[in-house]
Chain A
Amino acid sequence: QSALTQPRSVSGSPGQSVTISCTATSSDVFRYNYVSWFQHHPGKAPKLMIYDVSNRPSGVPDRFSGSKSGNTASLTISGLHTEDEADYYCCSFAGTYWVFGGGTKVTVL
């Protein structure tokens, strides 16, 4: 089963924008465009922030956006808030299995 690679950490000041990349080791991993992003505060339940590459569930602020180009998906947080500090995971359906990226810690400076 293939993997998704994310940077270990990104950081930014309040109000700045950050982008987290998610690169597939195989093009098959993104074949269905079922790419999701989850926010996870340690000790809490993960929260879906983006699904199907760029769709936001109801209640998710519009400063969160998703995109995909080739073998790389991205999550952008435009205008960081302190409460955005968390771990973020990309996730994709690869036909017979789902796979998560290794996670990116977002630090708000």
Chain B
Amino acid sequence: EDQLVESGGGLVQPGGSLRLSCVASGFTFTNYWIHWVRQAPGKGLVWVSDINPDGSSTKYADSVKGRFTISRDNAKNTVYLQMNTLRVEDTAVYFCSSGLRSDPNYWGQGTLVTVSS
């Protein structure tokens, strides 16, 4: 089955760090840009970051620039989101996606990150 599976979410204190993982299976991972998109409780979808197929190019939303780092290991079909200096407002479900304009288009079920003291 073609799918993405996120992991690594949890409860962390403000100022702390977490690393999210997004593992792909069933499709040619190295053909795709991979995006992280988040949804805070009761709010809408917000784009966070993306990375190109060979990992040489990355982009970030202004709200996370300098604090989050996206990377990928194509040998492991995995994309990572290293999140440092976490803030209460980073609390959200984090989804990974195989692209925001790709057909076919794959999304994970999300992993919850809670930043709270």
Binding site for B on A (CB under 8 A): 1, 34, 36, 38, 40, 44-48, 51-52, 55, 57-58, 87, 89, 91, 93, 96-103
The secondary structure that dominates the A interface is: strand
The residues of B that contact A58 with a CB separation of less than 8 Å are 103-104
Does B35 sit at the interface, judged by CB under 8 A? yes
A91 engages B62 (CB within 8 Å): no
A36 engages B61 (CB within 8 Å): no
> Measured between alpha carbons, how far is A47 from B98 in the docked complex, in Å?
11
CB distance from B55 to the nearest CB of A (A): 18
A51 engages B102 (CB within 8 Å): yes
A1 engages B62 (CB within 8 Å): yes
- Give the residue among A1, A45, A58 with the most B Cβ atoms within 10 A: A45
B59 engages A97 (CB within 8 Å): yes
Chain A: CB-nearest residue to B47: A98
A48 engages B47 (CB within 8 Å): no
CB distance from B36 to the nearest CB of A (A): 11
> Measured between alpha carbons, how far is A93 from B104 in the docked complex, in Å?
18
Chain B: CB-nearest residue to A46: B107
The residues of B that contact A34 with a CB separation of less than 8 Å are 100-101
The residues of B that contact A52 with a CB separation of less than 8 Å are 101
Partner of B105, one of A44, A57, A89: A57
12 A–B contacts from the bound complex (CB under 8 Å): A46-B95, A48-B100, A48-B103, A48-B105, A52-B101, A57-B104, A57-B105, A58-B104, A91-B100, A93-B101, A97-B47, A103-B45
Partner of B45, one of A40, A44, A48, A55: A40
The residues of B that contact A55 with a CB separation of less than 8 Å are 103
